[in-house]
Amino acid sequence: MSEISINAALVQGLAAAALGLPTGNEGKDFTPPAVTLPWAKWHNLPASTDVASLGAGGVDETVGVFQVDLNYPMNDGTGNILAAVQKLRNYFVAGRRLVYDGQCVHVDRVTRGNLRPVDGWQRISVSIYYSATTIRPEV
E strand intervals along 29-120: 39-51, 59-73, 97-100, 103-112, 116-118
Query: Which pTM was predicted?
Result: 0.94
Closest-CA residue to 107 (of 63, 44, 69, 48): 63
Flag whether pLDDT at 57 surpasses 90: no
Reference 5, options 76, 106, 105; nearest CA is: 105
Predicted confidence (pLDDT) at residue 56 exceeds the cutoff of 60: yes
* φ/ψ of residue 18, rounded to 5: 55, 55
For the domain bounded by 2-27+36-135, which CATH number is listed?
Answer: 3.30.2000.20
Share of the chain above pLDDT 70, in %: 99
Band (137; pLDDT cuts 50, 70, 90): confident
User: Do 71 and 38 contact (CB within 8 A), yes or no?
Assistant: yes
Q: pLDDT at residue 33 above 70?
A: yes
24 has a pLDDT exceeding 70: yes
Asked whether residue 138 carries a pLDDT value surpassing 80, the answer given is no
- Looking at residue 20, its pLDDT comes to 97
Band (1; pLDDT cuts 50, 70, 90) = low
> In this predicted model, what pLDDT tens digit does every residue of 119-135 receive, in sequence order?
999 999 999 999 999 98
pLDDT digits (tens, 9 = 90+) for 76-107: 999 999 999 999 999 999 999 999 999 999 99
Please, are residues 128 and 10 in contact by the beta-carbon 8 Å criterion? yes
Residue 103: strand pairing partners: 100
